[in-house]
Amino acid sequence: MHFSVPDTQELVDESGSPYMGYNVHINGVFHCTVRYKQLYNLHEQLMKELDLSKLELPYFPPKKLFPLTYNQQEERKLALDRYIQSIGQNTSINNSELLNGFLLSAQLESAKDSITFVNIDVFLMNGSKINLEVCTADNSSQVLKKVCHKINLNEKFCSYFSLFLIYQNDETFIVLRKLQDFESPFITQKNINKIGTRIVLGKWYWDIGYDLELLEDPVARHLLYLQASAEEERGCIPTTEKLKLQLISLKDSDNEEEYLKIVRSLKYYGYLYFAPCICDYPKPQSKVLVSIGKNELNLRVITAENNYEEFGFKVTRMRCWRITTLQEGSEKYEDMLDSKLELSFEYLIAKDKLQWITITSDQAILLSVCLQSMIDELLLKTVGGIKTQDVAKKTWTYVTREGHTRNVIGSLTANFFDKNYKVITKFHYLPCLIQSLWILMKIYLL
C-alpha cells in the first residue's frame, strides 16, 4: 500500500482548543484526517499485537510535554509521514485486522456523515447494474459478500472476485483502484466525486488455472463470461476478424462454455489493462500500452507506423520496484499522458545485468498493487495454499479525535459511532520484493 501524510490542517475540538489534523492519503487518494494521539494509540496496539521478535516497528515520534513550536510540528509531520509509509510497506502490518479497522474507523469519522443504511449500485463488467442496501460503515469485503449473495454466487468463490472503482464513459474504461478492506466503498466513491465513476465487480487473480474450479459453477462461469466478453469487445483481447465472427455467433447462441474455451486460449486473456502511458524502455518517451497478467508486466510500444513492438517482463525477474510521487492529490483521469506518478522496477535484463525501467502513469499505484498481488499469489501457490477470506474476530480499541474510546470486536457496525457525529514534491518507496521472490526466481530460471 502507498501511504503518505502530504499535508495538515488546523482543527478545533469540542472544548474549543485547536489541534493539528494529519491528512492521510492511501494509494494516491485522500482517506482520512487523524490526530497525533490517534496514531499513537494505533502504534501502542500494534506493539502489543505483533510479534516484535520477528518484526520491528518503525520509529514513532514521542509525546511532548509542552506545546510544539512550528519547527517541531514540521518534524513531527515528517516523522509521522515516514512512520505511516513504513507500515504501509509491510504486508504483515497492512494486512492486519487492527490496521484495517483503524483506517476504516478514521475514514468514517472524517466523512462526518451519519452511519446509516443506503442503496448503492454495483455493476458487472458488461454494465449490468445490481442495486443493494449497505451500511455506510461496511468495508469492501462486507459489500462484496452482499453482492455475491445478491447474485447467488457460492460463498467459497467470493475470494476470487473483488470490487473496483472504474471510470467509464462512451470511449473510456479506466480502472482507478481496487477497493480494500480498510475503506468503505460508499465513502471512497463519494470522496472521488467524479461523474462516470462506478463500483464494479471483477475477478481478482492472475493464474487462469483458477478458472477451472469456477467454470464448474454456473454463476461463477457467467461472471467469467461477462468479463471476458466485455474485454474482448473493448479490444483488450485481440482477435482475428474470422475469430471475432465466430465469437459473435457463440454469444448470440448463449454458448458461454465454448466462448470461454476459445477466449481462454488467447494471448491476453486474464490480463488487466491500463490506460496509454509513457515508458523509458526501449527508449525514452516511448508511448506504450501496459497490461499485467500471467506473471508478467507486458509493454506494447506504439511505433511511428502505429504498429506494436511487444516486451514482456516476468515478475520473477524483478528484484524490486518503487513509486515516485511527482505531485500528489491529482484527480485527473482524462489526460493519461500527463501523469504525475512513476513506477520504476529493477529487472534482470540479462545474466548478471540489472536495469531500471520506469513507467510514467496516473495508474502507477494500481500497477504496484497488481505486482504485489501477483507475488503474493505465487508465494501462496508455492506453499500449497488456497484463496480464502479471513473472518474478523479480534478485539481492538479506536480513539476518536475527541478522545472517546470505542472497543470493537471484529467488523464495525452502524452502532459503532454516534449516528450524528500545498502539494509537496516528494518520493515514496514501495516495498522491494520479499526474500522469497529470489527463491521463486531461481526455480523459474532453472
Give the right CATH number for 117-263 from 3.20.20.140, 1.10.3290.10, 3.30.460.80, 3.10.20.90. 3.10.20.90
- Backbone φ, ψ for residue 297 (5° rounding): -105, 120
Q: Going by C-beta distance under 8 Å and a sequence separation of 6 or more, which residues neighbour residue 393? A: 409, 410
Mean pLDDT of 77-86: 93
Q: Tell me how far apart the alpha carbons of residues 340 and 328 are, in angstroms, rounded to a whole number.
A: 8
Task: Tell how far CA 129 is from the center of its chain.
Answer: 22
- Confidence (pLDDT) at 429: 37
Total Cβ atoms within 10 A of residue 15: 6
- List C-alpha distances in Å: 127 to 57, 198, 234: 44, 10, 13
Q: Tell me how far apart the alpha carbons of residues 313 and 422 are, in angstroms, rounded to a whole number.
A: 37
Is 426's pLDDT higher than 90?
Answer: no
Q: Do the Cβ atoms of 328 and 423 come closer than 8 Å?
A: yes
Is 17's pLDDT higher than 70?
Answer: yes
**Which of 204-213, 244-253, 363-372, 396-405 has the lowest average pLDDT?**
396-405
Each residue's pLDDT tens digit, 175-199: 999 999 999 999 999 988 788 899 9
Confidence label for 41 from pLDDT (cuts 50, 70 and 90): very high
* Boundaries of every domain in the chain: 3-113+394-409, 117-263, 272-383
Task: Tell how far CA 64 is from the center of its chain.
Answer: 35
Q: Tell me how far apart the alpha carbons of residues 47 and 80 are, in angstroms, rounded to a whole number.
A: 16
- Backbone φ, ψ for residue 32 (5° rounding): -165, 170
Q: What is the value of pTM for the model shown?
A: 0.84
Helix%, strand%, coil% for the chain, nearest 5? 35, 30, 40
Confidence label for 324 from pLDDT (cuts 50, 70 and 90): confident
Share of the chain above pLDDT 70, in %: 85
- Fold annotation for 272-383: PH-domain like (2.30.29)
Closest to 266 (Cα-Cα) out of 301, 231, 315, 317 = 231
Give the three-class secondary structure for 371: helix
Each residue's pLDDT tens digit, 112-158: 877 899 999 999 999 999 999 999 999 999 999 999 999 999 999 99
Q: What average pLDDT does the structure give for the chain?
A: 85
Each residue's pLDDT tens digit, 236-271: 999 999 999 999 999 999 999 999 999 999 999 999
Is 49's pLDDT higher than 60?
Answer: yes
Q: Would you call 95 exposed, middle or buried from its count of C-beta atoms within 10 A (0-12, 13-18, 19+)?
A: middle
Q: Do the Cβ atoms of 84 and 137 come closer than 8 Å?
A: no
Q: Do the Cβ atoms of 361 and 341 come closer than 8 Å?
A: yes
Cell output for 358: 520506469
- Confidence (pLDDT) at 445: 44
Q: Tell me how far apart the alpha carbons of residues 115 and 133 are, in angstroms, rounded to a whole number.
A: 13
Q: Going by C-beta distance under 8 Å and a sequence separation of 6 or more, which residues neighbour residue 215? A: 221, 224, 257, 260
Each residue's pLDDT tens digit, 289-317: 999 999 999 999 988 777 889 999 999 99
Give the right CATH number for 3-113+394-409 from 3.30.1520.10, 2.30.40.10, 3.10.105.10, 2.60.120.10. 3.30.1520.10
